[in-house]
Amino acid sequence: MSLITYEPKNKLDFFLNPENFFDSAFPTWSPDSRAVEPKVNIMEEADGFTLHVAVPGMKNEDIDIEVKDNTLTLNGKSMEDKDGETGNYRVREFSRKGFRRMFTLDPWIDPEGITAKVENGLLKIYLPKKEEVKPKKVKIN
């Protein structure tokens, strides 16, 4: 299983290259432009992979999971204050933004058997391997 991850060094190389300094495609930065990606643990087992994605405070209906062209895409909707409280915050560290996380699936993953559930702040996704790649026991005669 492969991860598509953000590599900040690539952006730094862009900034430090003198040829790109006055380029019209020079990226702009703002505090709101940061990607919010949940942390993920991936475990491999004999019959498949299990992903644990940290999604505190989210429910099943807050998360969309899509599999297309060997890519697993997770989209979390923005969390909003349900009580409409704006308040005079001195410090506010809770992220209220949604997220998007993508994973490239190996060809031996069976996309039809993927299951997911949210439990205690963890999104648990099971990605089963196709039967032909699962280990088989050979009986000794």
pLDDT tens, position by position, 35-91: 568 899 999 998 999 999 999 888 889 899 999 988 999 999 876 555 555 667 777
CB 98 within 8 A of CB 86: no
The position carrying tokens 């089963």 is 128
pLDDT, residue 34, reads 47
Q: Report the predicted TM-score, pTM, of the whole model to 2 decimal places.
A: 0.64
The position carrying tokens 């475990």 is 43
Q: Report yes or no on 16 lying in a domain.
A: yes
Q: Is residue 95 scored above 50 in pLDDT?
A: yes
130: exposed, middle or buried (Cβ count in 10 Å: 0-12, 13-18, 19+): middle
Nearest to 115 by CA among 59, 84, 72, 68: 72
Q: Report yes or no on 63 lying in a domain.
A: yes
pLDDT, residue 32, reads 47
Mean pLDDT to the nearest integer, 112-136? 90
Q: Report yes or no on 29 lying in a domain.
A: yes
Nearest to 5 by CA among 114, 84, 100: 100
- In the chain, how many domains are there? 1
Q: Report yes or no on 137 lying in a domain.
A: no
